[in-house]
Amino acid sequence: MPTTTTRGVTSPAPAKAAEARPRRGLRGSRTFNFWLFSAPFLIGLAVFVYVPIGWSLYLSFFEARFTVTPSDFVGLGNYREILSDSGFTGSLGTFTVFAAFIVPTTWALSLGLALLVNRLRFMRAFYRSVFFLPTACSYVAASLIWKMSLFNGVRFGLANTVLGLFGVDNTAWLANPDPPWYWLVIITARLWLQSGFYMILFLAALQNIPQELYEAAAIDGAKRGWQTFRYITLPQLRATSTAVVLLLLVAAYQAFDEFFNLLAKTTWGRPPLVELYYTALGQDQNYGKGSAGAVVLTVLICVVTLFQGRIMGFGRGEESK
């Protein structure tokens, strides 16, 4: 790890001794400077990250409606309530369906775009920019375009206009959960928004593949195209692919904006955070139950990220340099 080597070089003397006699008063003291530099961040981290998590742990054991300083201890009651709430458990199901769709499709599309752009000889920057441009849009803006124009349920929506040319009747994309066309709307919106970003990651990885591998394969008689892709490109991209899949999973877990806006006022298609929003901040203002839900979701995501840390290590920033 670079951590140890760096420190070893800058402080040949044991850290204890350095701390015991600061060389140039306060200004040169390492301990003082360490805290001077990191205190603003660490205080903020404690107050705005650690305290809320601790507080919600506390609230989750109390009956707390419309108040954040409750006195009515209910033990695991909130947990029992939230875990038997069909809305909450259903939202975990919604996340599972969502992830099952969005992770593979984004992975494939962004890899496909990266492969295309990587082979271009002219106008490469132009095409890269076009695919990357949607990243500038917010999920709210995309939801608005998707809901009001692209997948508008009446005849002047673009999708219905195009289908109308083939004699297909108007489809109520979002207003009807059966058949669940709303998934098409949600998935395409997110695909459009995030594929360009992951394409950039794949492009960087593609450019790091040593060309000698392809040359050696050509000498060995490997056919260009599928064979080199399957046996050179794909294995060389394994680290990036894994990272992308895990990033996509964590992003899908936090999905809120497009579900909230596209499916406003509906009872179907609620992922965990939307469900939690209505539980804690809706009519009920049930902070106890909402906090229990937040704790459950936090524990679940911790399991995923720990797994992620195992696979990728924490040195993601270093490997690409």
Partner 1 sequence: MTTTAPDTGRRTRRGGVMSSTGLYVATSVAALLFLVPFYLLIRNALSTDPEITGENWKFFPTDIRWGNITEPFEDPTVDFGRSMGNSLVIGVLHTVGTLFVCSLAGYALARIPYRHADKVFYAVLVTLMVPAAVTFVPSFVLVSSLGWVDSYRGLVVPGLFSGFTCFLFRQYFLGFPKELEEAARVDGLGYWGAYWRVVVPNSLNFFAAIATITFINGWNAFLWPLVIGQDPSAWTVQVALSSYMTNQTVNYHLIFMATAISILPLLFVFLFLQRWLVQGIAQTGIKG
Q: In the window 152-181, what residues touch partner 1 (CB under 8 A)? A: 154-156, 158, 161
Rounded to the nearest whole angstrom, what is the least distance from the CB of residue 244 to partner 1 in the complex? 9
DSSP single-letter state for residue 136: G
Q: In the window 218-257, what residues touch partner 1 (CB under 8 A)? A: 218, 224-226, 228, 243, 247, 250-251, 253-254, 256-257
Q: What is the CB-side half-sphere exposure of residue 213 using CA atoms within 13 A?
A: 15
Q: Does residue 306 belong to the site contacting partner 1 (CB under 8 A)?
A: yes
Q: In the window 38-77, what residues touch partner 1 (CB under 8 A)? A: 38, 40-42, 44-45, 47-53, 55-56, 59, 68-69
Encoded amino acid at 136, one letter:
A
- 56 or 181: CB nearest partner 1: 56
Q: How far is CA 56 from the centre of its chain?
A: 23
Q: Does residue 265 belong to the site contacting partner 1 (CB under 8 A)?
A: yes
Cα 45 to Cα 319: distance, rounded to the nearest angstrom: 27
Three-class SS state of 9 = helix
Those residues with Cβ within 8 angstroms of residue 113's Cβ, 6 or more apart along the chain or in another chain: 131, 195, 196, 199, 202
- 98's tokens: 């969502």
Piece of the chain touching partner 1 by CB under 8 A; list 78-86, 92-100, 176-184, 287-295? 287-295
Residues written for the chain:
321
Number of residues counted as binding partner 1 (CB under 8 A): 130
- 221 or 225: CB nearest partner 1: 225
Rounded to the nearest whole angstrom, what is the least distance from the CB of residue 268 to partner 1 in the complex? 17
In 3D space, the residue among 305, 298, 306, 304 whose CA is nearest the CA of residue 56 turns out to be: 298
Rounded to the nearest whole angstrom, what is the least distance from the CB of residue 65 to partner 1 in the complex? 13
Cα 82 to Cα 78: distance, rounded to the nearest angstrom: 6
- 256's tokens: 């809120």
Q: Does residue 143 belong to the site contacting partner 1 (CB under 8 A)?
A: yes
Per-position x/- string for 83-112, each x denoting binding to partner 1 as judged by CB under 8 A, each - no binding: ------------------------------
Rounded to the nearest whole angstrom, what is the least distance from the CB of residue 90 to partner 1 in the complex? 18
Q: Does residue 2 belong to the site contacting partner 1 (CB under 8 A)?
A: yes
Piece of the chain touching partner 1 by CB under 8 A; list 74-82, 83-91, 175-183, 200-208? 200-208
Rounded to the nearest whole angstrom, what is the least distance from the CB of residue 108 to partner 1 in the complex? 13
Q: Does residue 145 belong to the site contacting partner 1 (CB under 8 A)?
A: yes
* Ordered DSSP codes for 173-211: TTT-TTTTTHHHHHHHHHHHHHHHHHHHHHHHHHHTS-H
Chosen residue from 181, 192, 249, 252 binding partner 1 by CB under 8 A? 192
Q: Is there a contact between 260 and 189 (Cβ–Cβ < 8 Å)?
A: no
- 177 or 222: CB nearest partner 1: 222
In 3D space, the residue among 83, 110, 140, 100 whose CA is nearest the CA of residue 259 turns out to be: 140
